[in-house]
Amino acid sequence: MTDAPRVRFAPSPTGYLHVGGARTALFNWLYARQTGGIFVLRIEDTDRDRSSDDMVSAILEGMTWLGLDWDEGPWHQADGFDRHRADAERMVEDGLAYHCFCSVDELKTRREEAEKAGTGYRYNRNCASIPAEEARARCAAGEPSTIRFRVPEGETEWDDLVHGPTRFRNEDIEDFIILRTDNTPIYNLAVVSDDVFMRITHVLRGDDHIANTPKQILLYRAMGAAVPAFGHLPMILGADGRRLSKRHGATAVGEYQTRGILPGALTNFLALLGWNPGDDQEIMTEAELIARFSIERIGKKSAVFDPEKLEWMNGQHIMATPADELLRLLAPDLVERGLASREEIVDQRDWFISLIELLKPRSRTLVAMVDQMIPFLAPTVAYDPAATAKIWKDRDAVIAGLDAVWQAFDALDEWTPETIEAALRGTAERAGVGFGKIVHPLRLALTGSQASPGIDHVVLLMGKTRVRDRINSAREILLRNETEPSHG
């Protein structure tokens, strides 16, 4: 029996969890969940100056919100400095790395000379042939040194899970530093030392790391460790074909949460950035993603981040979410925006559920859904000036129509979608006008806008008292000929 895969997500806490990082985390998580493997979270905080605790919290929060739970960690890379150093020293003992005593100034001069001469700079292996004894003595005497990896001759090749066989000539890789003068590890050493320690079997990460991979493979071999399988995920681009960045809009996962995107919609969307299920199914639940995910179907081609599509997908996920679950998700926003109290939400739960059912097909985000709840909850509505100019143009006819509607409503014994609809039709017939002539001004009077769900359901859920009050205030505004927003 082979051991279960062990994968990791290794963010550097130098920024919030962005969509690219979340996609990497998601692919690793899906693979672990599908295979019964272990998903490790490792915070790569060796760059103390650029890392911050706030960013670590933001990353953990983002992952938790997305439902990407980790089985081990969070490990902190900076806690492993002693092990990183020990690994470097062991490589020196084994002759696979060496102390370099070249000073920063010397290296800089050589680099500048190479640049001037137009020959590419690479470390000239000045210290590679210093006998081990001598190097030890110089270190013992306190002479500062870095440790450099002794790159062997030949080629370094791996069969990338996404890109297939990938090969680098070792002569293009200089003897790179693995430990600084101050004994802190260079990035590639820390990553490999940690991946070996955490027994990582598969490394799925962005393809901006391809150039690091040959160096890392050399380090694995030097440590006598099994080299994991590598799969490099395609880049995520904005609509203009440039690498996704702030200039394309929101890139932090937290921003999507604030905008009312459901975590399941975002993971669905991110899963399709670089992976496809092999058919045209686009909307997938988390369980479906876990079942269908496959590394073989990760593409090489960069993926385009289309925010429109994300909103559309979110609308589909909203449709598929039970109304009581949506109510639970919306409640904090309703309270915070002063539209309802906790008690009201509990007491009138059925009413809220009906309202959510009504708005579900029309809401692409949770925020948009709450916006559409305003006319049903706020004491007054703001009237869209463009709509009033168009729909309330014929003031006297509109007032007469609203009065007639109210009379018909007031006479109803029952308050159902059918009776409401019949009252509206009867009103139009009696006035000898089309249904729209009655309904459009009424919709505007009730909701402040030209667009709403079916008028019968709007009237039904708004309730008789609120409908009366809204008609009255619309009437007043019309009489004053004041169609500007009265209150928001």
Site residues for ligand GLU per CB under 6 A: 10-12, 44, 191, 205, 209
Residues annotated catalytic, as ranges: 246
Closest distance between ligand GLU and the C-beta of residue 201, in Å?
Answer: 14
Nearest distance in Å: CB 241, ligand GLU = 22
Q: How far apart are CA 302 and CA 275, in angstroms?
A: 10
Cβ-based nearer residue to ligand GLU, 44 or 286: 44
Cβ contact 27:275 at 8 Å:
yes
Query: What is the C-alpha to C-alpha distance for residues 323 and 358, in angstroms, rounded to an integer?
Result: 10
d(CA 126, CA 382): 77
Question: Please, which residue, 44 or 421, has the CB nearer to ligand GLU?
Answer: 44
Tokens 């069969």 correspond to 159
Of 10 and 446, the one with the shorter C-beta distance to ligand GLU is: 10
Whose Cβ is closer to ligand GLU: residue 13's or residue 375's? Answer: 13
Q: In a 10 Å sphere around its CB, with 0-12 CB exposed, 13-18 middle and 19+ buried, how is residue 481 labelled? A: exposed
Sign of CA dihedral 353, 355, 360, 363: negative
In the complex, the smallest distance separating the C-beta of residue 196 from ligand GLU, rounded to whole angstroms, is: 13
φ/ψ (deg, to 5) at 326: -65, -40
- Asked if 248 and 237 count as a contact pair (C-beta separation under 8 A), the reply is no
CA 72 to chain centre: 22
3-state helix, strand, coil in the chain (%, to 5): 55, 10, 35
Nearer to ligand GLU by Cβ, of 191 and 423: the residue is 191
To 10 degrees, the CA torsion angle through 91, 96, 99, 105?
-120
Contact yes or no for 19/270 (Cβ under 8 A):
yes
> Which tokens go with 184?
């802190």
**Do β-strands 38-43 and 72-76 pair in parallel, antiparallel, or remain unpaired?**
parallel
In angstroms, the CA 47 to CA 77 distance is 10
Least distance in angstroms from the C-beta of 51 to ligand GLU: 10
Strand ranges across the sheet with 72-76: 72-76, 38-43, 6-9, 202-206, 229-233
Q: Which is nearer to ligand GLU, 176 or 376 (CB)?
A: 176
- What's the chain's Rg over C-alpha atoms? 32
What is the smallest separation between the CB atom of 461 and ligand GLU, expressed in angstroms?
49
Give whichever of 208 and 482 is closer to ligand GLU, judged by the CB atom: 208
Q: Smallest distance from the beta carbon of 259 to ligand GLU, in angstroms? A: 25
Shortest approach of ligand GLU to residue 191 CB, angstroms?
5
> Residue 128 has what DSSP assignment?
T
C-alpha 450/C-alpha 469 separation (Å) is 19
- The distance of closest approach from Cβ of residue 244 to ligand GLU in the complex, given in angstroms and rounded to an integer, is 14
For ligand GLU, the closer CB: 10 or 298? 10
Question: CB 43 → ligand GLU: shortest distance, Å?
Answer: 9
Q: Quick one: three-class SS letters along 180-236?
A: CCCCCECHHHHHHHHHHHCCCCEEEEEHHHHHHHHHHHHHHHHCCCCCCEEEEECCE
Token reading at 226:
């099994």
Structural contact between residues 179 and 186, judged by C-beta atoms closer than 8 angstroms: yes
| Token pair belonging to 407 | 């009379």
